[in-house]
Each structure stands twice: as structure tokens, then as C-alpha cells.
Structure 1
Amino acid sequence: MWYSQSAKDVLQKLKTDVQQGLSPEEVEKRLEKYGLNKWREQKSRSILTMLKDQLNDALIFVLLGAVLITSFMGEYVDAIIIMLVIFINASLGIIQEIKAGKAIEDLHKLASPKALVRRNGKVSEVNTDQLVPGDIVILETGRLIPADLRLIESINLQVEESALTGESVSANKKADEIFKDENIPLGDQQNMVFMSTLVTYGRGVGVVVSTGEDTEVGKIAEEINTDEAKTPLEKRLDELGKVLGKIAVAVCVLIFIIGYFQGRDLAELFLTAVSLAVASIPEGLAAIVAVVLSVGVTKMSKQNAIIKRLPAVETLGSVNIICSDKTGTLTQNKMTVTSYFTLSHNIQEVDQKKNDEHSKLLAKAMFLCSDATLEGDKSSGDPTEIALLSFADDLNLNRIEISEQSKRLDELPFDSDRKMMSVVVENNDQKRIYTKGAIDRLLPKCTHVLIDNQVLEINEQHKSEIEESIHQLSSQALRTLASAYKDISEIPSKDEWEENLVFIGLVGMIDPPREEVKPAIAKAKAAGITTLMITGDHAETAFAIAKDLKIAKNISQTITGQGLDKIDSDKLQHQIKDYRVFARVSPQHKVAIVKALKAEGNIVSMTGDGVNDAPSLSNANIGVAMGITGTDVSKSASDMILTDDNFATIVTAVEQGRNIYSNIKKSVIFLLTSNIGEVVTMLVTILAGMPAPLIATQLLWINLLTDSLPAIALGMDPSSDDVMTHKPRPANESFFAHKQGSRAILGGSLIGFLTIGAYWFGFYEHGYSPFDENIPEDILSYARTMAFMSLIASQLFYSLAFRHYRKSIFQIGIFSNKYLTGAIIIGFLLQVLVLEIPVLQEAFKLQSLDAAGWAMAIGLGLVPLIVNEIIKLYHRSQSR
């Protein structure tokens, strides 16, 4: 353990000199031994691999089988169409994966492209991947740490480690500390600094002890599980493909056997059986799903979310747990002064209108005793000091003017032992010492207090009021910082600077929640989604934020990493539902939490931006990384990246995911209903001994027409306004849940029997029966045309009924889905062309219908839609 050894011992062990550094020859040797200073990256997938994955699907295998069968039967046009569907589906998936990969490349930024290194006695900048153990690295404010370093020197050094530890407050670093304990948490290793963290204050010198995969960042990167489990949608489609494949074979065999024993023509019978088998498979489903998902992904990208895999959108829609990091995700990742205390006015909230002289002095003392800079949105330095500059701005102080009038003569830098900082300022020949620091260290140094512009000797009453204010601010999880001053004629020795001070007041600051987070959490809650906070911050601070955001109600819903360690995995699985806030947790704790939630059957989304989030992002059903503040590791581990780092975008993604799944389900049930109608029509008539009501070419045309435009149009249905009022779907929910299977069977059966009725009417209109012998060919052709037109009309009109499971088409608007309206119109136009153009009429063996025939076909076609509307009306009246 490097932190348990002295700096001298570390230098000897690494065979390096702090003044000279390594020689170029030694660097080359160590590069060969240790490799480049970067962790192993995943290789980009080839197009051939992506194509293989796209085709590795049960439904695709069934379609390929259909291609072989139809090609064997000479139906080359249909075989080509099915192959086109397969090609389009695979292409969409590949294109989306390539686009997502490009987006990730654009987001990918190196943690630190350059580092200041001392080699051969000279300091120069080198690429961070060229660093090796033993290199001497110079650290300055604003520099990213390029590798894991054991500090050799530190001067007021502070490092922001939230990406690794979850702590929003910078950690103090001291080179001369030595820790003998073998289990010191990363956040407490004061003599170490780690790759991908940021120097916010001071300076230092460190020796590289670990590079690449051996760094703390690299270890976490290696922990990431790259095996991707199938999403719920992929599983549903896989199961559906297998079921439909079996049904297709069964239908084909059954009809052929029945027809064989009835003495039908075997060649025609085989072609009809195969055509019906193909018709019973909604080959448009794969393409429809890809199109709907692709449209959803495009829409998401415009809403600041990059989806890396198409099905991830749907999975996000089924999420019922969102695990969120606190710092930078729920909060703004910047300290802000929200309240302050003076003995003149007690505790006040920061308000530009409340800017009395005492408050102004407090703000003035704070920002003069600071080394940070702040201009507009640009800032540098310690986040706490930046917050103090903002505090002065909030009280309408002119910092530029005050700074110009106040000349800093000397300073006593912040020290982690003293926990104070002091400066000597001269203004119009008047010298004054301003001191800021921790209240427990500063208050004992105060002999006087300022009240209403009067300096009074401090007494027990004053101390009691100050302590009460600290208690009140701390109860709100505010971090307190106090300020004092004293006037001097000559600059005393520094031992006397922080003695006999006049207490001015103190401020309370916190890393505040994002404004848009609270309504987003409320919206998620209404949708049955629970938000959990998982952070490395202190329990009190985490709970205060969680309570404000209404994530948790009481402190009993908070547990720390130490508390988690006392619970074994089996017990945690059952107790996990009792907690809403997980504080002071390590990356391993986060993974354990996600696994426990998943073991209870939850669909879990994990959001985060730090390196420490990566393993849990990877283990979650959906990992959501922040694009702006997110680290490289977290982005590569995630399924979705938010380009605006906005928690509210996640809830929007959930809503989009739910609508996408709903639309896919509409398309699936509609296709199955239509295909059941075709199967019922053929099975019943052949079982009854009638001539086949539809021939192979007609079946394939119907299948092509209804499996394309109307089904895709349903997949493009506008978002439902009530989709976020329902609980998330169970992870194992079938496509046919909530009586959707019964709906498909009953609706398909109704369409089938109505088609048979239209078929019978075609005979009846000309004085024949379908059971007659020696039926003229033109009468049979007319009856088939009636069945053909009635079946198409039923399916096209019935597509309107699938737009909402309960609302009437008049409530949602008949024409509100312009794609579906267009699909129905185009469908009827194509049907008319087939019926009226002589060449097509002959090819499909159809006849023109008379007025009675058209009226019957359209009238019967409207029946399924009307029946469905009546059933919906009944259910709505029952629910009222």
C-alpha cells in the first residue's frame, strides 16, 4: 500500500529522484514493462459481427424459412419482398449502432491529454499515456491528475474527487501523512491522488505509482461486465417468433392433411397451405419494430438523449426503479450559499433585498479572504470559495471595485490543521486582517462580536446564539463557514494574526438540487417509478437533499455503506425496499444494491457520471451516463447518454419508452388479429368442404397490404397523454397480457366469419351455394372477390380500434394519426387498382363488384370496428 509508506521509501522503491526524475532511456524501458497509461478499451464491432447479431433472431429464422418455401413454390416476388424486409430490419439496426458509436466517439474526451513531468532534471509537458511508474509529476490548480500518485510535496493542495468517491467537497491532501491501516477508503488517503480527479487549489509534486489498468480508475473499468443481457422486448419477440413458427408449420400441415382427405388438387392445395402458413407469420413485425424504435431513438436524440442500442428505449420504458447518483446528477455539482447568520439579524436566507451593512461585511470578508475567480459562468479555484464569490454577488456587492480598493499585503494560507485562512488587506491606509474558517476553530479565537455596527465583548449569550444557529443550519445539512476580522496598525507576526478576533458571522452552503429534478421525480412517482439516491456523500447531507426532493420521508430510509456491509446479500435482497437513500457507499456497494433490486424482479435504471458509477451502470438493466460531466468509463458502460446532464430527460425517456412499447404492442396485436382472420377463413371453409375462399396470390397480397402500411402507421401513433399514469409493466409481462390475446382471437375470429359471410353472399347473389357441385368459374371468382375485399376492408377499418385500449376513436380523434389515415386510404386505393385494372384483375383472378357487392363488403368491413367501439363504451360506463 503506497499510502502506508513514507515518500522517501516510495522514491527508493521506484528508483527515481525527485529533483532529476527519470531519464528518457529509463522511460522507454518502463513503457515496455508497464505499457501505455490507459485502460483497455473495447474493440469496435465489425459490420459483419453486427449483421450476424441482427440476424440471430428466431423470427428472422422463420422469415428465412418462408423465403425458401416461397422460392421453391415459384412465388419469387413474395420471396424478394420478405428478403427486403429482413435486409431493411438488419440495416436499420446496424446503422443505428454505427450512429450511436460515432456519437460516443464524439463525446469521448481524454481525462488529461498533457501532464507536467520532471525528466532529466527538466520540467516539460508530455502526453499522459506516456507516463510510467517513477515519473515525477508537477500538480497545479486546474490540472487533472494523469495517473495514481504518491504525493512528495503538497502546498495547500486540495483535490476534487467526486468522480471517484462521490464527495462534492474537495479533499485536503498532505504529502507527509502516513497511514498504517490497510483498509483506508480512497477518500481518506490524504497522501495519494488518483487518475481523473482534479486539483482545485494549491500545488504539489507526486511520483507515479500506478498507470493504466492498475490505477483505481482502471480497476473499475476492468470490473465492468460487458456481457449484455437481452432486453424484455427482445425476449418477447424471441418467444413470439418461436410460437408463430410452430403455428405456421401446424397450419400448413393441417390444411394439407384435410385437403388431401377431401380429394382436392394436391399442387394447388400445397401452394395454398404454404401461402397461408406465410400469411400466419407477420413478417412485417421485425421491420415495424425496427422502424418504431428507430423513430423513437431519433426523437430521443432531439431531446438530448443518445441511445446506444435500439431496444434500450423500450427497456427504459419498463423501468420501475431509478437509482441516481447525487453529485452532478440530482444536484448542480457546485456549492451555493443559501443562508447566513449574524448576531445583528440572526439566520437569513440569501436575498438581494436584504443587504444591510453587517451582511455586506460578512460577504466582503469572505470573498477578500479567497483565491478563487468568478466571471459570469467562468470560474476557477476551490468550489467553496467560488460559492463565497457568488454570495457577494447575490448581496449586490461590487467585487471588482472592492478588490481594487483593498490591497492584499500578506496572507496565511488555509491549513488542514488550523482549518482557517487569513489575509492582511489595506484600504485607505487602514489595515485589517480578515479570517475565514471552520466555526469550531475560529470561534475560540474571537474575543469580540459585531452587533449593529458595534463591537462588543463576547459573552455566553452570544456563544449560545451562534451555537444554536450552527445547529439549525446543520439540521438542514448545510456546511458552515465562519468569518472574523481585526483592525491593526502594523502587521504582527503570523502567530498573532488569528488571535483576539471580532466575530462577523457565518454562512451555510450546500450543493443544491437541480431545479428540474423535483417535478421529474414527482412525475416518475405518479408513473409508479421509485427514485433512489446512491451517493458517496455523508448520510445527513444526502438525506437533506433526498427529503427536499421527496425521495425520502425520514432518516430511517437512509443507510450507509457500513450498514450495508453488515447485511448479507440474501437479507439485502428482502430489505432493499425499505431504503431510499444509500450514503457513503463504494462502487462495490452500488453494484450490490443494483443486483439486490434486480433479484427482487425490478427493472433498474442507474444514472451517474463518475468513474465510481461505471460498474453499477453496466449491471443495471439500463445505464444512463451524463454526457457533459460524465467520465469516459461511465459513458462506455452505459446504454444511454444524456447530452444535457438533465435528470428530467430520463423521465422523458421513460415516457417515450412506454409509448414506443405501447405502439409496438398495437402493431403486434393488430397483425395477429388480421392473420387469425385469414387462418379462420381458410380453416373453417376447408373443414366445411367449401372451395378455398382465397387463393395463394390473394393471400400473399392481403398479407403484404396489412402487414406493412397500417401496422407501421400504428407504430407511429402519437404519444398517449395518460401513459405516465400507469404502473410500469412487470418484467415478465407477455404481449398478450390484459386480455390482449383474447382480443386478438375474438377479433380475428369475427373478421374470419364476416369474410366467410361475404364469400357466401357472393354465391347467394348469383343463386348458388358454396356447397353446390359444378359451380361456374366466374361465380367462384366473384365469391372470392367478395371474401378478398371484405377481409381487406375489415382489417383496414379495424386498425383504428387499436389506437387506444379504452378510449373511443372519437375521443382520440379519427384523423389524429395522419399516418394511419393515409395508410387506410392508400390501402383502399391499391385494392381498387387490383380490382379494376384488367392485367392485375386477371393475375389475382378477381372480378369487378356490383353495387350490392361493394355495399356488403364495406358494410361487413365496418362491423369489427363498430363492435369494438360498443365494447369500449361498455367498459367506460362500468369504470364510471
Structure 2
Amino acid sequence: MDVREMDPTLADATDVARAMDVDPDRGLGAGEAARRLAEHGPNELRGTPPVPLWRRVLAQLNDPLVILLLIAAGISVVAWLIEGAHGAPVDAIVVLAVIVFNVIIGLVQEARAADAVAALAVMTRAHATVLRDGELVVIPAGELVPGDILQLAEGDQVGADARLLRSSSLRVTEASLTGESAPVEKDPATLREIVPLGDRSNMVFRGTAVNGGTARTVVTATGMDTEMGAIATMLDQTQEEATPLQREVGRVGSMLGRIVVGIAIVIMLTISIVERPDSAAEWVTVLLLGVSLAVAAVPEGLPAILSVVLALGVQRMARRNAVVKRLSSVETLGSASVICTDKTGTLTQNEMTIGRIITSSGSVELTGVGYAPVGEAWVRARDAAADHVLGDEDDQLLAEVRAVLGVGALANDAQLAEREGRWEIAGDPTEAAFLVAERKIPGLADEVHRASRVAEVPFSSERKMMSTAHRDPAGRVLVFAKGAPDILLERCTAVLVGGERVPLDDVRRDALLEDVEALSNDAYRTLGVAARLAPELEEGEPALDESAETDLVYLGVVGIIDPPRPEAKAAIAQAHAAGIRVVMITGDHPATAARIAADLGIVEPGTVAVTGRELDGLSDHDLVEVARRTSVYARVAPEHKLKIVDALQADGRIVAMTGDGVNDAPALKSADIGIAMGITGTEVTKEAAKMVLADDDFATIVKAVHEGRVIFDNIRKFLRYLLCSNMGEVLTMFFGVVLMGVIGLSDAAGEGIVVPVLAVQILWINLVTDTAPALAMGVDPEIDDVMARPPRGARDRVIDGRMWTAIVSTGLTMAVITLLTMDLWLPGGIIPGGDDSLEVARTAAFNALVLGNLFAAFNARSATSSAFRGIFANRRLWLAVLLGVALQIAVVHVPFLQVAFGTAPLDLWHWLVGVALASCVLWVEEIRKAVIRARLRARGEAVV
């Protein structure tokens, strides 16, 4: 039977080897291995070809606003050609320069992002020891084939998915694949039913690491057929969602495109009907008017300004250890309403720690977390007021605690060392926890390690315990044992009480088992410790076997847990205060997950975790309902994480997903913003994510959310400002043409069609005088507490109804003051008495429009607050406004700029009147905002 037609976990190991057509004692022959390698291909993950430069450039151009600018530039070139191609097409050149600048910014920022599947392949390059023609040989892992007999030992990287044939004390670290924090014990025994990935104890998987023990296995899958290959396929197929900001800017671009086309068509039809052009020159004029309207409606500088502001935000976040890979992701993080986070290594230390010790005389808790041996032992009495540091007055309990930790540290194969100021371990993290704990009891480590090991009975999953023999300085040989408490107690005949050996009767045995159950209920992993004097080993070379593991004295039990990061709880509380829900998703045991989640304040104590198996039975609708109310998941596979993220997004949430393991990568890519751990995270996770935490600190996420919210507020500010400016230009052009006769424009021009402001003058406003204030608003300091309000919804618009009201109101005011200025200086019209030429009147109107825009910059800083609130807080804005005024003076009075932009010099009176009229933009908005604030107070709503 083909192994692909069977589940190797449910079949006997010999049947799996038979199905793979291999002798477990000889392995494959060289010729057969070569044939299978040709058939199945290299044991590598399929990489995605790199995206060529031209496609990346097209991706940058695939933006409605950019497309709109390209169309406007194209129309401008056509009009320039029709006019006779005199000089250079200034409008088109400037617009194209803006587009090129924007593309360069995008390409530079995204150049660091590499292909995630390729990173998977790089991460798993290794060598493997296999049995070929009856001999063990080392080959590149890429040459493994299905049916290879793979030999594993401590420290090996597993090169392919394989079924265990036989093993000895095999423990495998699978955290990067399943999220399980502790090493997993492996056993060749056949499973009775299909179980989740993390519970397949008779299998080993590519990309995991052997923590201890040895094994012989038969390879069942290589390359893309492995579990890691399945993740790579899932990652490759996962579609990245457009960010809320990208979607909103796209909507704005599409809307502006429709407005441009609509207004241009209406105006050109109106003029064609009223003026009835009958010459090529007049039709060119009509076409140029359409171009002018297109230029007026499109905020040419918006894409570039948006990119620059986001890039500046990226730099600020990088200084706070949050490295953002995609510009648009900056704003998304600020909009996050749910943060889905892995447990191991993200919320926890990923450093197993002994937290509690229970002996016959009492319970002791050890402070301090992780592998740094810093902390104290506290006696936890029934009366909380009696809690105190374990000391000499607790002589009986102290002796028992010293015995438990001393024996656990000796019956141990791990190592603990300090390197460059950081404590590191080698070996099993659970065993290393004893080495850390013993150093928290003064003098214990120096005393204990005077005994030298002389023999051992290694740990095995069948026995669930290990023993070592040590000769102390007095020459005695002692047997020390540790293992599952219930198994250990069966081999004990006495219990240590103080320094005395007391017989272990049924009453005491039941009480000790209750202590173990209490630790398990608190989500601790439990290990019992026992010892005995071994006089039969005193003479000659000692030998130790299971017969020595009898008549033991039970010393106590320790509770071990992967502790939460100390800064994570405060960060989660800050997230909750900001209206952001935190959801923990882990491959760990449900009780452990629920305990950690409760300790961190994610859920209330007593909350039960939802498991991956429970999720499998849910419909899409039910999954959304569960995701809406569940904040802790356990025993989940990679596909479950992806389902949870998708369900939250379907419920209208903006989801940030954090993680560090390979198993997190697909969900990170699918989330609105994926956040990888920079120190403990795998390369594939970093590449799939949109943001990397340089310090692996969950609190950094909350800081980044704060920064993202400030950036989002500033984006709204400069969007409000730029769209107010463009609305003013569009309405000026529209009413200027429609009301030519009313304001005296047609009389001044004689015959023909004229516009109140030239297209090149509008381009000047959009690219020169508007750009600097918009950039200054992009770095505006925080005015209000952005973390005191809930996140905006996924369906909330960046440009909402209130903003559109302000945009139309300000734009209409600008148009009115611009056209009144022109009417004031032209002969005829509503306001009689003007005697200036069309060039002077147009320049004065152009001047008023520019100055009105600069006044509007102060209004745009808030939707409701007065412009005078914190008016001097942003010095950059003042510098930008003064720069705009200086540039406007230059374009009006410098001769070569006069020629380029069709302006004429103005006297002081023209300037003073222009400033006075332009200031109406400020005063009208102040009145409108005052009315809004009064209405909000009347309704009892907060006034921002």
C-alpha cells in the first residue's frame, strides 16, 4: 500500500516502512535513492520567482490618484501638441515628475521585503544522517527522499517529515511549527485516532529540532509535501488585503476622477452650446479648459505627500523598535481594533521557570522569571499577612526546598551559563529551570555540585522519569530521580519531613497527589523529585539500572511554567483602555493558555479556552460568532489561526496579528497588519509580516499603535487641507466660467473663452504653496489623547461627512473671495470701478486663492477646535506658510516666473486687499466650528 494512501500516525511503524518499500535495518540503496530523488525532486520548498522591476513599478502606478494624474498629463500633452508644441509642456512635465518621485519612494521603502517562501527554504537548509546500504552516511537534507531511514540525535535539525520506528527518550522542540512551548516527547506507538499536528507523538516534522534522545525514523514526506511545505503553500496562496488607508485613498481617487470627468464634460458642453465654437483655435480653448479643470480637481501632490508623511512615521517607529516594511501599514496599526497574538515567545518569555515548590511542610513560590537566576523564595502561608521570604526560621521547610532543588539540579543534563550579560541554556528547558532555581537559594549551588555523577538511567517516555547516581564528598553514592509525580510516588516508600524520613502511608500519598493536582489546575507542568542512599553501589565501578529506582524518599514537587513577560500585562491593559481587544492564539494546552491569558488580563479567571478541534466543527457563520466573543484559543494548527483572523475581519475588525514561529506566517500575511518578533522570530515570519518588533516587546506594539493613531490624525489633517484647496480651485474654475459675464471677465477678454485662473497657476498652488503646509501637518504634534478613544471601524471612512462639509464650505469660501477679487479689479461686473487689465486682475485673484489656502492650513488642524488653539505648537507649519508667502511674492514679481506662470506685478494696495479677503477663509470656518461645538455641547458629546 502506498504511504500516501494511509495516515502514518494510525499505522504500525513496520507497516509504514513496508509501504515505503524499505528495509529499516539497511535503508535505501544508492541507486534507488537516486531514482526516488529524480521522481520526487529535491527536498526543498518551492520558492516564488522574484517580481521583476517593471512589475513592481506598475504596482506603484496602480493607484487611482496616480492613474488620474497620468490621464491629466496625457491630456495636457495633447493640448500642447494641438496648440503647436511651443516651448515645453510644463504641466505634463511637473505632473510626471511628481509621479516618478512617488514611485521611487515606494520602491525604496519596499525593497527590503523578500519572498517569504524563499526564506522558508533558506531557514531549513541542513544535513541529515541516513542509513544507505546498511551504513550511516551524512547527506545534505535536500537529498532526502521518501523511504529514507533517518537517524536523529540531540541537536539535529529534522530534515523531513518522518514516522518513528524506534526511539529512546526522544524530545523534539516544535514551537516554531505548532506553538508548543515545551519540548514534545515522542513515542513510536501507533495512535488510535487522527489528532492535531501538535499531538502526533509518533511523527517528527521538517524544521523542528531534536532536544534530547535518539531515534530511527522512516521519511514519509519531503519538500512541499511536508507540513512546512503545506504552510509554504498556504502562505503563497494567502492574499494580502489592501490597508484601510489604501482603500480610502482609492475611493477618493475614483471619486475625484468621476468629478473631473463630470465637471469637464458639463463645462465643455455648456460652453459649446452657449459660445458655439466654430474654429480649431476655439475648440483647443475648450479642450484646454477641460485640462484646467482636471488640474484643479486632482491634488497632484497628495500621493507624494502621503508617502513622505508615512515614511517619516516609519522612521519614528523604527526609533521605538517597531520596523515597518510597508508605508501604508503605519496607519493600519493605528486603526487596529483587535491584536491577535501568539503566546510562546510573544506574551511569554519562552523560558521555562519553576514558579512553585510544594513539600510535605508547605508551599514556596520563587520570584523572578526566565533564565536569569535572580529572585527569592517566598513562603506562602494560609494567612496572606504571614507571607515572608524563606529563611533560617523556616528550618524544616528550607531543608526540604534545598533537597528538592538540589536533587533536581543534579539529576540533570542541561547547562546554564552567562554570555555577554545574557543567561543562556543548553539542553532541555525544563531541566534548566532547576539550575536557575537552585541559584535563588543562597549557597545551594556551591554545595550541591560538589557531588559528581557516576551513573544514570536516562529518561524515556515509557518510564516518564530519569535517575542519576552521584558520589558525594564523603564517598557515599546517592540515587536522585525526577519525573511524573504519580509515577515517582509508586516507587517511593517514604517522604522527607524536615531532615527525617517518614513512612509514606496512603493518607500522606493522597495529600501529595492533591498538591500535584492543585499545581496542574493552576496550569503548571509538574515534576516530582525523590532520592535514596545506594550502599550497593559503593564498591568498585558503579552500575545503575531501574532496580535502583525503588525504595525512594519523596522530596516534593515543583510547578514549572513559561512565565508571562512582565511588560506584557501593562501593555495589554493599555490596549484595552484604547478600545483594542487582545486575543491569544497558541498551540499549548488549554489550561495553560487560559491561565496565562488570565494572568495577563486578557480574560477573566476561570475562562475556558476554545480549542482547534472545536473550531473544526464550526460553520463560517458560527466561527464569526465564536471569534466575536472568544479571546483565548489553544491547541490550534496554522490553518486555525488563519480562520480566526479571517473571521474577525469578516466581523468588521481591523486585525493585527503577532507571532514568531513558522506556523504564524500565513495568518500574519492575511491580517491587516502582521507583526513578527525580531529576535526570536523565524526569517519566514519576518518576511511574511508587515512590521517587525526589534525588541520582541509586546509593549512596543502599543507604542506603535499610539504612533499610528497620531499619524492617522495627521493624514486626515493634510487630506482635509489639500481637498479644501482643490475644492476651492474647482469651484473657482466652474463658477468663473459660468459667471464670466457677471464678474466682468468676458468683457475684459473681448471675444473668446477665458478662465479666471490658468492651469499652470493651479499647478503652482498644488505643487508648491500647498505641499509644504501639508507636509508640516503630516508631523503635527498630538493635540488630544489619541489612546483615550476607541479605534475606528473597518467601514469608517477616512473622509467622513463632517470632513466633506468642511471641505465644501472652505472650498466655496475660497471660490467666492477669488472671484470677488477678480471682479473688484476688473471694469464692469458686480463691483464697478476697477480699471486693471485682465492679467493684473487674474494675478490678484490667483494671489487671493493662494493666500486663502495658506489661511486654511490653520483651520485644517482640527475638525472642531478653533484654529487659535495651540496655534504656535507646530513651528514647521508657520515656516511652511511663510515659505508659501515668499514663493508667491516671487511668482508675482520675478520676471522669468511672471513669463512662466502668466502673472503681472501687483502694488501694495492689491496685496493688502488680497490678504484681507483671503482671511475670510479663516473667519468663516471659525464661525462654522463654533456652531458645531455649541451643538455638540447641547447634545452632551465631547468636544475635541
2:390 corresponds to which of 344, 354, 357: 354
Distance 1:102 1:88 in 2: 25
Q: Which moved more, 1:648-657 or 1:743-752?
A: 648-657
Q: Aligned in 2, Cα 1:131/1:694: closer, same or farther, shift over 3 Å? A: same
Q: How does 1:424-439 map to 2 (within 5 A)?
A: 424-427=469-472, 428-439=474-485
Whether 1:337 and 2:348 are equivalent positions in the alignment is no
1:414 corresponds to which of 459, 476, 480: 459
The Cα shift of 1:283 comes to: 1.6
Q: Residue 330 of structure 1 aligns to a residue in which SS? A: coil
The Cα shift of 1:32 comes to: 0.7
Distance 2:802 2:156 in 1: 61
Indicate if the aligned counterparts of 2:301 and 2:766 stay in contact, CA closer than 8 A: no
1:709 corresponds to which of 769, 772, 785: 772
Q: Which moved more, 1:20-29 or 1:140-149?
A: 20-29
Which amino acid letter does the alignment assign opposite residue 531 of structure 1? V
Whether 1:516 and 2:563 are equivalent positions in the alignment is no
Indicate if the aligned counterparts of 2:400 and 2:499 stay in contact, CA closer than 8 A: yes
2:729 paired residue number: 678
Indicate if the aligned counterparts of 1:112 and 1:144 stay in contact, CA closer than 8 A: no
Distance 1:38 1:413 in 2: 35
2:592 paired residue number: 541
**In the TM superposition, what whole-angstrom CA distance separates every residue of 1:482-522 from its partner, at most 9, and x where no partner exists?**
21212232239734423222222221111111222212222
Whether 1:798 and 2:859 are equivalent positions in the alignment is no
Q: Residue 394 of structure 1 aligns to a residue in which SS? A: coil
Whether 1:196 and 2:197 are equivalent positions in the alignment is no
Distance 1:758 1:772 in 2: 10
The Cα shift of 1:779 comes to: 4.1
Which amino acid letter does the alignment assign opposite residue 211 of structure 1? T
The Cα shift of 1:370 comes to: 0.7
Q: Which moved more, 1:859-868 or 1:667-676?
A: 859-868
Distance 1:718 1:146 in 2: 52
Distance 1:838 1:615 in 2: 61
Q: Which moved more, 1:210-219 or 1:443-452?
A: 443-452
Q: Aligned in 2, Cα 1:720/1:98: closer, same or farther, shift over 3 Å? A: farther
Which amino acid letter does the alignment assign opposite residue 251 of structure 1? I
Whether 1:14 and 2:20 are equivalent positions in the alignment is yes
Unpaired runs of 5+ in structure 1? none
The Cα shift of 1:59 comes to: 2.0
Whether 1:150 and 2:150 are equivalent positions in the alignment is no
Q: Aligned in 2, Cα 1:99/1:416: closer, same or farther, shift over 3 Å? A: closer
Q: Aligned in 2, Cα 1:372/1:741: closer, same or farther, shift over 3 Å? A: same
Whether 1:240 and 2:240 are equivalent positions in the alignment is no
Whether 1:312 and 2:326 are equivalent positions in the alignment is no
The Cα shift of 1:6 comes to: 3.7
The Cα shift of 1:57 comes to: 2.5
The Cα shift of 1:554 comes to: 4.3
Distance 1:657 1:268 in 2: 46
2:409 paired residue number: 367
Q: How does 1:377-456 map to 2 (within 5 A)?
A: 377-397=423-443, 399=445, 402-403=448-449, 405-427=450-472, 428-456=474-502
2:790 paired residue number: 727
Distance 1:416 1:236 in 2: 57
Indicate if the aligned counterparts of 1:419 and 1:441 stay in contact, CA closer than 8 A: yes
Q: How does 1:481-492 map to 2 (within 5 A)?
A: 481-491=527-537
Q: Aligned in 2, Cα 1:228/1:781: closer, same or farther, shift over 3 Å? A: same
Distance 2:716 2:548 in 1: 74
The Cα shift of 1:270 comes to: 4.7
Distance 1:131 1:473 in 2: 44
Q: Which moved more, 1:742-751 or 1:515-524?
A: 515-524
Q: Residue 326 of structure 1 aligns to a residue in which SS? A: coil
Q: Aligned in 2, Cα 1:876/1:445: closer, same or farther, shift over 3 Å? A: farther
2:190 corresponds to which of 178, 188, 211: 178
2:384 paired residue number: none
1:830 paired residue number: 887
Q: Residue 2 of structure 1 aligns to a residue in which SS? A: coil
Which amino acid letter does the alignment assign opposite residue 394 of structure 1? K
Indicate if the aligned counterparts of 1:347 and 1:469 stay in contact, CA closer than 8 A: no
1:167 paired residue number: 180
Distance 1:45 1:310 in 2: 19
Q: Which moved more, 1:286-295 or 1:458-467?
A: 458-467
**In the TM superposition, what whole-angstrom CA distance separates every residue of 1:125-184 from its partner, at most 9, and x where no partner exists?**
332112112323221212221111222331211111222232222221223x223x3513
Q: Residue 576 of structure 1 aligns to a residue in which SS? A: helix
Distance 2:242 2:544 in 1: 70
Q: Which moved more, 1:610-619 or 1:143-152?
A: 610-619
Q: How does 1:793-872 map to 2 (within 5 A)?
A: 793-808=851-866, 811-812=869-870, 814-818=872-876, 820-869=877-926, 872=929
The Cα shift of 1:258 comes to: 4.5
**In the TM superposition, what whole-angstrom CA distance separates every residue of 1:322-346 from its partner, at most 9, and x where no partner exists?**
2212122211222111111222343
Q: Which moved more, 1:540-549 or 1:143-152?
A: 143-152
2:293 paired residue number: 276
Distance 1:613 1:188 in 2: 18
**In the TM superposition, what whole-angstrom CA distance separates every residue of 1:785-837 from its partner, at most 9, and x where no partner exists?**
3322221112112212222334455544525352x333212211111112222
2:151 paired residue number: 138
Which amino acid letter does the alignment assign opposite residue 644 of structure 2? I
2:222 paired residue number: 211
Q: Which moved more, 1:841-850 or 1:142-151?
A: 841-850
Q: Residue 187 of structure 2 aligns to a residue in which SS? A: coil
1:32 paired residue number: 38
1:525 corresponds to which of 576, 585, 589: 576
Which amino acid letter does the alignment assign opposite residue 315 of structure 1? T
The Cα shift of 1:544 comes to: 0.6
Indicate if the aligned counterparts of 2:120 and 2:232 stay in contact, CA closer than 8 A: no
Which amino acid letter does the alignment assign opposite residue 308 of structure 2? V
2:811 paired residue number: 748
1:227 paired residue number: 239
Q: Which moved more, 1:372-381 or 1:445-454?
A: 445-454
1:770 paired residue number: 829
Which amino acid letter does the alignment assign opposite residue 735 of structure 1? V
Distance 2:27 2:443 in 1: 48
The Cα shift of 1:857 comes to: 2.1
Q: Aligned in 2, Cα 1:694/1:588: closer, same or farther, shift over 3 Å? A: closer
Q: Aligned in 2, Cα 1:731/1:120: closer, same or farther, shift over 3 Å? A: same
Q: Residue 99 of structure 1 aligns to a residue in which SS? A: coil
For these two proteins, the number of residue pairs brought into alignment is: 871
The Cα shift of 1:120 comes to: 4.3
Q: Residue 154 of structure 2 aligns to a residue in which SS? A: coil
**In the TM superposition, what whole-angstrom CA distance separates every residue of 1:396-432 from its partner, at most 9, and x where no partner exists?**
34636632x2111211222223322111111121222
Which amino acid letter does the alignment assign opposite residue 413 of structure 1? P
Which amino acid letter does the alignment assign opposite residue 647 of structure 2? A
Distance 1:756 1:258 in 2: 20
**In the TM superposition, what whole-angstrom CA distance separates every residue of 1:655-706 from its partner, at most 9, and x where no partner exists?**
3333333333222221111111122233334333221542344333223324
The Cα shift of 1:775 comes to: 7.1
Distance 1:556 1:469 in 2: 22
1:83 paired residue number: 96
Under a length normalisation based on structure 1, what TM-score does the superposition of the two structures give? 0.92
Indicate if the aligned counterparts of 2:839 and 2:904 stay in contact, CA closer than 8 A: yes
Distance 1:98 1:534 in 2: 31
Q: Aligned in 2, Cα 1:14/1:107: closer, same or farther, shift over 3 Å? A: closer
Distance 2:523 2:176 in 1: 21
